[in-house]
Amino acid sequence: MNEGLEQANFKRALEKLIKGFVEALKPTAAVPYLGASNVDPLEHTTRAEFIDNILIALGWKLKKPGGEIVEEARIKDETTLFLDYLGVNPDTRAPQLIVEAKAWSKPMVAGSDVAAAREDQSTSYTPVTLIAAAIEHCKSGGAIEASPVTAEWARWIAKLRDYVAGTHAKSGHTVSRAVLTSGQWMVIFTDPGNAFINAGDVNTAGIKIFLLENYVEQSATIFELLAYHNLVDRPPDYIAASRVHAFLAAGSVKSVHRALWLRRQEGGAHFRIHPQLYLYAAAVLRRVDEVIVTVLDEQSENPVPHDMNAFVDHLAAVQTASDALMDAIKSELGELPEASGVEAFTGFVSAPTIGAIVSVVPPRPGPKKALLRSYRARADEFLLVTGEAAHFLLQEPTVAPCAGHDWVTCKALGQSKGPGPILARSVEPKSFFMSGEDHHCAHRLMHDRREERCLVMAFEGFLCCRACALQGACWSEAELGGLPCGVAPLAQPKVASSDPASAAARP
């Protein structure tokens, strides 16, 4: 990341946002429809029109699949806490940022009568020391009405403390930043652990206050404190082998797994649409801190052939590309563990969703690991971890012969999937392989059993499990032994002859 460029872009976006938002609030500004009026925006409008855009300019992704900001996050413990914004590391779900939004017209911190009485006793408050005193009062169990700040601010501080403590209790991590803002002012807590969790005095150096009229001038400091890349140590979706030094060091790699970047798309004319499956060599490197780094060779495009006579050559080309990528990574780092199987991969963490309950808690490992990650910028584009294998497809199934490849045979067994055989490579249903080919499965029982466990169903729904290199990740050995795979094809029924002589010869 080019820090100077990103800061300049943020400053420019902030200046444009403030100008447009403030202009819209002026009484002389045109109203959007008859009967509308220009009034101070409420909390929801402040969030949607102002704070959302500040966070986006800081590099946080909102309202998108896999976004790092969870809006209206719910943390459920003894009570349910509702956070306006919770920024998380999408790989580990460790909480990094809490933003609590208030309506545009809400006032900056002010002292209560209690604070005024203390000032009469030679205690002089600044906004920072006033907030610190209010937090200390809250941590000591003091009553709202006895706080040195107004009752409204005392309640805000108590709520923010609950949020910081709640996310810590659920995730084991303390957020790096906590923010309280109305849009017109912004209070950033740079050490939320000291301010809201640790006993004792609050370090006033960890409380930063910014006012709207100074946002642009102080944009570099705001960017440094809140930018996504400054709070979340997360590599891009993928990098080239030549860039691994920016995210990895020799000895920092815990495990290495071969992978494939896949792109499934439609091809052909409208009257003959067929699927295309493009594969690119990739590797997934897991650092000792559990951060995932994906290395991709963008030049290694290998489409799965429609002509199965070319399939063996295709497998060899994918293997060669995968080996070349692993060698390129080794040459950059100097040392690299050997590729491990998918059983050693912990699985991708599911992306948090808007309004997610306990969204800071990574899912517990289940019987099926998440080896497939959807690329957030495009549909039908995926990263698939294949472990030691270069390809997710085997040259041939591990069980043969098998009746499940052919729909007609399955029909005779009373186990056919679908109303008829798939006789051409199909976009919908997703079936790259056709009925009768060794990589196709038309057996209804197999489809029913793998519905909740197939790792490639997002882009291929009729693949024979025994022709997939990931079969061991989906099924245990005992489960594989109990599947109907390997049922011998039925003998072809005898066809009655129409020859009278033959008929006369029959008993």
- Give the tens place of pLDDT for each residue, 140-187: 999 999 999 999 999 999 999 999 998 888 888 889 999 999 999 999
Residue 488, pLDDT score: 75
pLDDT tens-digit map of 80-116: 667 788 888 776 777 889 999 998 889 999 998 887 7
pTM: 0.65
- The conformational region for residue 135 under phi > 0 = left, psi -120 to 50 = alpha, else beta, is alpha
> Could you tell me which residues come within 8 angstroms of residue 486 by beta carbon, excluding any fewer than 6 positions away?
399, 400, 401, 402
pLDDT tens-digit map of 247-257: 888 788 999 99
Torsion sign, CA atoms 88, 94, 97, 102 = positive
Amino acid present at 226: L
Q: Two tokens at 132?
A: 């610190």
Amino acid present at 443: H
Cα 409 from Cα 477, distance rounded (Å): 26
State the maximum Cα–Cα separation within the chain, in Å, rounded to a whole number: 125
Residue 411, pLDDT score: 95
Q: Two tokens at 323?
A: 């080996």
- The conformational region for residue 192 under phi > 0 = left, psi -120 to 50 = alpha, else beta, is alpha
Q: What is the DSSP track for 201-246?
A: ---GGGEEEEEGGGTTTTHHHHHHHH-HHHH-----S-B-GGGGGG
**Is a pLDDT exceeding 70 seen at residue 498?**
no
**Is a pLDDT exceeding 80 seen at residue 495?**
no
DSSP state of 64: S
Q: Which residue has the higher pLDDT, 37 or 218?
A: 218
Residue 471 parent element (H or E): helix 471-474
Q: Which residue has the higher pLDDT, 89 or 239?
A: 239
Amino acid present at 192: P
Q: Which residue has the higher pLDDT, 45 or 216?
A: 216
Residue 189 parent element (H or E): strand 185-189
Cα 125 from Cα 116, distance rounded (Å): 9
Q: Which residue has the higher pLDDT, 26 or 160?
A: 160
Give the CA radius of gyration of the chain.
30
- Measure the CA dihedral 159/163/168/174, to 10°: -100
Residue 270, pLDDT score: 82
Average pLDDT over residues 313-334: 96
Residue 194, pLDDT score: 95
Amino acid present at 148: P
Average pLDDT over the chain, rounded to an integer? 85
Average pLDDT over residues 334-339: 89
Report helix, strand or coil for 35.
coil
Average pLDDT over residues 285-311: 94
Residue 372 parent element (H or E): strand 372-374
